[in-house]
Chain A
Amino acid sequence: QKEVEQDPGPLSVPEGAIVSLNCTYSNSAFQYFMWYRQYSRKGPELLMYTYSSGNKEDGRFTAQVDKSSKYISLFIRDSQPSDSATYLCAMARSAGNNRKLIWGLGTSLAVNP
C-alpha cells in the first residue's frame, strides 16, 4: 500500500462547479501538507501549504487537513477552464534537513466551458 493515495480521475466538471480533490495517507507522522498544480508539459507549482490540521483559504481555493482521519482535501470554488490541470498532493514528516516530500499520483481535472 502506498503511503499516499490519490484517485487519478479523470474528473470532469462544468465551469462554475465546486471541485473537491482528496488524498488519504497512512503515516500519522506527516505534519506538512501541500497541494501542487501541474499543467500539461510543465512542472508542478505550489498552490496551498498547510501545517498540521485545519483549514486554509486562498481566493477560490481551500485546503483542509483532518489528521484524525488521515485525509486531506482541496476545494476549488467557481471552477474555471484555466483550472484544468493535474492536482498533486504532497506530504512531509518534517520541514528540517530530513524533509522528503511523499507524493500522491495526482488527479486529472477538466473544467468544461
Chain B
Amino acid sequence: KAGVTQTPRYLIKTRGQQVTLSCSPISGHRSVSWYQQTPGQGLQFLFEYFSETQRNKGNFPGRFSGRQFSNSRSEMNVSTLELGDSALYLCASSATQGATEAFFGQGTRLTVV
C-alpha cells in the first residue's frame, strides 16, 4: 500500500513570500500531523488534523496554518516567510486521532533566502 506522499520535495522561497505544502496520507488514515525539523530544535509539532478539523496545535505563530480535506489530504501554509522557517517539514499519517503509531512522509525541504 502506498505510503505518505509529500509534495514538493524541495522548495526555495524568498523572505516575505508564502508557501503551501501538501501531504497525502496512507489510504484509510484520517489523521495528519505536521512537524518542523531543524538541526538545532529537532522535531517540533505544528498541528494535527482529523476529520477536517484541527485537533491539536503546537507553539508556532499564526503564520503557520493548515487544513484538511474530505479525502484526508492536508495542506500546510506558511505566510510571510522568514529565514528561520528554513527546515524540513514532515507530515505524519495515523489511522485515528492520537494514535501512537505514526507513518512519516519523506518531507519537504524548504529553504528561505
- Measuring CB to CB, which residues of chain A are less than 8 angstroms from any residue of chain B? 32, 34, 41-46, 49, 88, 90, 92, 94-101, 103-106
Contacts and interface: CB of A to CB of B under 8 A. Distances in A.
A110 B101 CA distance: 26
A103 B42 contact: yes
A95 B42 contact: no
B66 interface: no
A45 B100 contact: no
B98 A97 contact: yes
Given A98-B56, A100-B56, A105 B42 contact: yes
Between B58, B98, B105, the greatest number of chain A beta carbons within 10 A of the residue's beta carbon is seen for B98
Contacts, number: 53
B107 A43 contact: yes
Contacts of B97: 97
Interface of B: 4, 41-45, 55-56, 58, 90, 92, 97-107
A93 to B, nearest CB: 11
Contacts of A105: 41-42
Contact of A95 (B55, B100, B104): B100
B100 A34 contact: yes
A106 B35 CA distance: 15
A88 B43 contact: yes
